[in-house]
Structure 1
Amino acid sequence: QEERRLMEQKMLEAEMRALKESEESERRTKEAEQLKQDLQEARESERRARNKLLEITSKAINASPVLPSDSIPPDLSYSRENLSFDFKDTDMKR
């Protein structure tokens, strides 16, 4: 009789473990599905952002007029004398 009670207890414990494993499996499956959906949404957002950036940059390139060099005022034109570098201030450690 004691043996039977121990056997029933072990069966009950095994059933409880199986139930917990099943619930854990379901939870992980749902989590994996949610992560897949999140990844899909992130990829779609990235694609939309990339397309929007391409659209903006192509509009900016097409909208900006190309000015001949003689139409640039002298104070905005660059010459070697105006461009001096202080190499102590720049990062030359590469």
Structure 2
Amino acid sequence: MAKSMMSKQTAHDIADRLLLHILADEELLSSLLGRSGLNPSQLAEVVNGPGIHEFVLEFVSESDDRVMACADAIGARPDDIALASRMLSRRD
């Protein structure tokens, strides 16, 4: 995928795949809960809320190692995760 060409839908799809991966990986889920300060029931509210895509992409993007591992796990390129994160964090 070209660096400058990604639809919001594609960015959301990447974030959704990342979320499913995180929820299925006990270590990542524990890290997410610890970083956010959320308990599991609060996480359920966030998962169903409007900012979930940005939340997930921000978490994954905190660490290059996490980006690489998650990209591999979901079959995406690390650059696509970075681009999705940038696209969805824009407020324009």
- TM-score, reference length from structure 2: 0.22
Between structure 1 and structure 2, the one with the greater Rg is 1
- TM-score, reference length from structure 1: 0.22
State the structure with bigger RCO (CA 8 A, min sep 6), 1 or 2: 2
Higher helix share: 2
